[in-house]
Amino acid sequence: MNYPAESGRGIVHGDGLFTAASSGVLNPSYAINGEEIMTTINTRIEKQKVPLLDLNAQYEPIKDQIKQAFDEVFESKQFIMGPKVSELEAQIASYCGCKHAIGVSSGTDALVISLMALGIGPGDEVITTPFTFFATAGSIARVGANPVFVDIDPVTYNINPDLIGVAITEKTKAIMPVHLFGQVAHMDPIMALAKQHNLYVIEDGAQAIGSEYKGKRAGSIGDVGCFSFFPSKNLGACGDGGIVTTNDDQLAENLRVMRVHGSKPKYYHHVIGGNFRLDPMQAAFLLVKLPLLEQQHEGRIRNAAFYDQQLASPIVTPVLKEMSSDDSQSSRMIYNQYTCRVSNRDQFQAHLNDYTVGSAIYYPVPLHLQSCFNSMGYTEGDCPESERASKEVISIPIFPELTQDQLQYIVDVIEVAPSALNDRRHLHRTEDLGRSSNVIL
């Protein structure tokens, strides 16, 4: 067990709880089995505030460019669609390695319009993961189809391809893998199953723009890729926005028609679509940020590497699963979140709050146990890995503008967290998860 280089007094009780006086200075010691273990003071660490995300730090260096981009839209008077949207679509398509990108009103609407354009509706089934943001399954339900939940791989938190086959029925029309936290799902077996059973594949890449799987970008592998520009994303807008990518010419045309109420030509409707247009102000904002996206990714990857090196067991840090030993087919995780597992998660988060370190839980209740899906008949125990993850995961600051001092402060706070000494029997062990910086399958 590693002990932080600090001093003070505290007790680890028989039930694994840690108690110590809180003075705003990290100042611990420990007693295990009644034996007090004193640590040596190197420095007294004063409390500082580190948010989960600092959008101001991201905005300040580019605010003049953003204001100029907004002025260009105001001067053009093209407030619906227009050249900014078209320019962004072309650049995103190129960035993702796709022939087409269709800007839409949100990441949620990217999923909805994709389902609509693929003709998925009442009575159909779409296989997806229960460990994701609500929009994944919510979009399926909104078009009248039924989400079918398949449990996750406990290492990546993405849908477990080995469990998909048994969930396929004659009603299944699509598989919707989620590239959670910025890591692409294991797509080869998913695509093989889809081909075998004549199913569509809709990539929910809301958190994964720029992530790679065997050298391919997220959103370029399935029939469509769906992305969100929610402000907290690696490529975040100043409001809602989203985009759909595809390599299918006809599907791209269908998506463009359906985002304007199914109208082509104007006021003539052969299909029912919706108002799914991307706002040109959001497109202008994103055009300023897109050239900086690789820099954003690199900063997050660098910060993740620091955490990986500094955080010790029993904190279980994220794992990038390499799907190939060929360097030309490497995978990349962009760390939209840096999500760890820890025992006594709620106590651990309270400790972070005490030292004003931002954190969030993605997600506290898996979708198959959400009350709105009660009629589907799922019960606790149906997706045990998702249920376990919902009790153990916590995300800590990873944004690229974090200073070295902030990173070290976060590590120091975590090292003296009470839950770092708690009973670990129910927590996935690092070796069980195959933890390393890269895991070859």
Q: Are 74 and 210 in contact (CB under 8 A)?
A: no
73 CB contacts (<8 Å, ≥6 apart)? 79, 82, 84, 280, 281, 284
Residue 250 inside a domain? The answer is yes
Q: Are 338 and 306 in contact (CB under 8 A)?
A: no
Given a cut of 80, whether residue 153 has pLDDT beyond it is yes
pLDDT score of 39: 37
pLDDT score of 43: 43
Residues 91 and 169 in one domain: yes
Q: Are 123 and 153 in contact (CB under 8 A)?
A: no
pLDDT score of 38: 32
CA gap 360, 121 in Å, rounded: 34
Residues 349 and 258 in one domain: no
In the block, tokens 């050249």 appear at 83
Question: For the purposes of burial, counting CB atoms within 10 Å of the CB of 77, is it exposed (0-12), middle (13-18) or buried (19 or more)?
Answer: exposed
Residue 244 sits in a domain of what CATH number?
3.40.640.10
Given a cut of 80, whether residue 25 has pLDDT beyond it is no
Arithmetic mean of pLDDT, 231-238: 96
Residues 233 and 133 in one domain: yes
pLDDT band at 42, cuts 50/70/90? very low
Arithmetic mean of pLDDT, 18-25: 36
Given a cut of 90, whether residue 252 has pLDDT beyond it is yes
Residues 340 and 214 in one domain: no
pLDDT score of 178: 98
Residue 12 inside a domain? The answer is yes
Residues 162 and 62 in one domain: yes
Residue 60 inside a domain? The answer is yes
Lowest mean pLDDT among 62-66, 290-294, 323-327: 323-327
pLDDT score of 393: 97
Residue bearing the bigger pLDDT, 265 or 435? 265
pLDDT score of 323: 66
Residue 363 inside a domain? The answer is yes
Residue 368 inside a domain? The answer is yes
Residues 124 and 173 in one domain: yes
pLDDT band at 433, cuts 50/70/90? very low
Q: How many residues does this entry show for the chain?
A: 441
Residue 51 inside a domain? The answer is no
Number of domains in the chain: 3
pLDDT score of 314: 77
Residue 14 inside a domain? The answer is yes
Residues 366 and 413 in one domain: yes
Alpha carbon 130 to chain centroid, angstroms: 14
- What's the sign of the alpha-carbon dihedral 220, 167, 152, 106? positive
Residue 346 sits in a domain of what CATH number?
3.90.1150.10
Percent of the chain with pLDDT over 90: 80
Using one digit for the tens of pLDDT, what is the confidence trace for 317-334? 999 886 656 665 789 999
CA gap 140, 134 in Å, rounded: 10
Given a cut of 90, whether residue 127 has pLDDT beyond it is yes
CA gap 396, 405 in Å, rounded: 15
Residue 132 inside a domain? The answer is yes
Mean residue pLDDT of the chain comes to 87
Q: What domain range includes position 27?
A: 1-46
